[in-house]
Amino acid sequence: MSPKTQRALILGLIFAGVLIAGFFGLRAVFALREFRRHAPPPLEVAFTEQIIETDVELIRDWMTIPYIARTYHIHPKILFDALGISPSGNEEKSLLQLNDEFFPDAPEIVIELIKAVIQANQPAPTAVVPDAPAPPATP
Amino acid sequence: MSDFLLTQIINYGAPILGIIVFIGALGAPFPGTLIVIAVGAFAKQGLLPWHTTGLVALACVVLGDNLSYAMGYYAREPVLRRFQNSERWTKAEEAFNRWGGMAVVWTRFLITGIAVPVNLIAGTSNFGIRRFFFYDLLGEAVWIFGYGGLGYLFGAQWEVVSDVLSNISGLSLGLVLLGIGIWLGIRLIKTIGAKKTEGFEA
The answer to whether the Cβ–Cβ distance between A24 and B171 falls below 8 Å is yes
Size of chain B in residues: 202
| Cross-chain residue pair B3–A61, CB shorter than 8 Å | yes
The span from the CA of B98 to the CA of B197, in Å, is 32
Residue A94 has what DSSP assignment? B
Binning pLDDT at 50, 70 and 90, where does residue B5 land? very high
pLDDT over 80 at B119, yes or no: yes
pLDDT < 50 stretches in chain A: none
Q: Is A86 exposed, middle or buried (0-12, 13-18, 19+ CB in 10 A)?
A: exposed
Cα nearest neighbour of A25 on chain B:
B171
Residue B92 burial (CB < 10 Å; 0-12/13-18/19+)?
middle
Give the residue ranges of DSSP H helices in chain A.
3-36, 43-46, 65-71, 76-83, 95-102, 109-121
Kindly determine whether residue B178 and residue A58, on different chains, have CB atoms separated by under 8 Å: no
Q: Which chain A residues contact residue B152 at CB under 8 A? A: 46-47
Would an 8 Å CB–CB cutoff place B29 in contact with chain A? no
CB contact burial B43-81 (16+ within 10 A = b; e otherwise): bbbebbebeebbebbbbbbbebbbebbebbbeeeeeeee
Chain B nearest C-alpha distance from A1 (Å): 11
Task: Indicate if the pLDDT at residue B13 is higher than 80.
Answer: yes
CA distance B155 to chain A (A): 8
Of B4, B47, B167, the CB nearest to A28: B167
Q: What gap in Å lies between CA B141 and CA B148, rounded to an integer?
A: 10
Residue-level pLDDT at A126: 64
Alpha helices in chain B (DSSP H): 2-12, 14-25, 32-44, 50-74, 76-83, 87-109, 115-124, 129-141, 148-154, 158-201
Out of A17, A34, A67, the one facing B178 most closely (by C-beta) is A17
The CA-based diameter of chain A, rounded to the nearest angstrom, is 99
- So what's the pLDDT on residue A95? 94
Half-sphere exposure of B25 (CA within 13 A, CB side): 31
User: Does A120 lie at the interface with B, CB-CB under 8 angstroms?
Assistant: no
Confidence grade of residue B76 (pLDDT, cut at 50, 70, 90): confident
Task: Classify burial at B202, counting beta carbons within 10 Å of its beta carbon; exposed 0-12, middle 13-18, buried 19 or more.
Answer: exposed
| Whether B45 and A46 lie within 8 Å, measured CB to CB | no
Lowest mean pLDDT among A65-69, B86-90, B146-150: B86-90
pLDDT at B1: 76
Half-sphere exposure of A80 (CA within 13 A, CB side): 16
Residue B74 CA to residue A109 CA, distance in Å, equals 53
Closest CA to B129 of B202, B198, B46, B73: B73
Contact (CB<8Å) B170/A62: no
Residue A64: count other Cβ atoms within 10 Å of its Cβ.
21
**Contacts with A20 from chain B: Cβ below 8 Å:** 170-171, 173-174, 177
Chain A positions in Cβ-Cβ contact with residue B163 (cut-off 8 Å): 31, 34-35
For residue A53, what pLDDT is reported?
76
Please say whether the beta carbons of B44 and B151 come within 8 A. Answer: yes
To which H or E segment does residue A10 belong?
A: helix A3-36
Torsion angle, CA of A60/A66/A72/A75, rounded to 10 degrees?
Answer: 140
pTM, to two decimals: 0.80
- The distance between the two most distant Cα atoms of chain B, rounded to a whole number of Å, is 77
**A23 contact B CB<8A:** yes
CB contact under 8 A, A62 and B175: no
Which three-class secondary structure state does DSSP give residue A64?
Answer: strand
Given a cut of 70, whether residue B84 has pLDDT beyond it is: no
Mean pLDDT of chain B: 89
Chain A contact for B154 (CB, 8 A cutoff): yes
